[in-house]
A and B are shown apart, each in its own frame.
Chain A
């Protein structure tokens, strides 16, 4: 079973700051997911990536397959970015059998 570690667990920053959230996993994977969860429970998929880098608006996700490590960056952070960010990888590496999740990074952006 894949194990996922995220850091930091909690992060408070000022509006406009550059944010980095890190994720490490234990078993080689087909793809890694970054998810966003707002209070109330709904989860939104931000990125699925298997190599390199992806960008969507102010969000950037990178992955290093050899090092089993991924980062999520937020540029020009805004209070509406406040949420829990969760990294997830396939339960056993392959992908068909569901995801294993990190505990999440609770991000608060203060105005």
Chain B
């Protein structure tokens, strides 16, 4: 297992375009989390899944954001009609319920121009 994998590593998009990011967690991990981190700040919780069920969404996750984990394995995070304020690092993490901690991916850095 190569850890948590996120793709793409970098994405530059024009304002108003839609973007989709992918996260492949550690295969044994049933929980998957999305976080957003802006420059100089700690990551902020967006949403989390247990298996394929999305159990919690932050108020930060506006209607333009949607996340899925269709088969309880990989997850996608889509942002529609991107705005400059969406520019950030989007981090994915996974864990096993009852386990010892989280494993983070390297993140996808989104720049909206």
Contacts and interface: CB of A to CB of B under 8 A. Distances in A.
Interface of A: 4, 33, 35, 40-45, 48, 86, 88, 91, 96-104
A43 B45 contact: no
Contact of A101 (B43, B50, B55, B107): B43
B102 A45 contact: yes
B74 interface: no
A97 B100 CA distance: 15
B42 A103 contact: yes
B21 interface: no
Interface residues on B, range: 20 to 34
B73 interface: no
Contacts, number: 62
A42 B40 CA distance: 14
Given A41-B91, A41-B109, A43-B91, A99 B45 contact: yes
A110 to B, nearest CB: 21
23 contacts: A33-B101, A40-B106, A41-B37, A41-B89, A41-B107, A41-B109, A42-B105, A42-B106, A43-B43, A43-B91, A43-B104, A43-B107, A45-B101, A45-B102, A91-B56, A96-B48, A97-B45, A97-B48, A97-B56, A99-B35, A101-B35, A102-B42, A104-B41
Given A33-B102, A96-B55, 18 more contacts: A41-B91, A41-B107, A42-B104, A43-B91, A43-B107, A48-B101, A91-B45, A91-B56, A96-B97, A98-B33, A98-B35, A99-B33, A99-B43, A99-B45, A99-B102, A100-B45, A101-B43, A103-B40
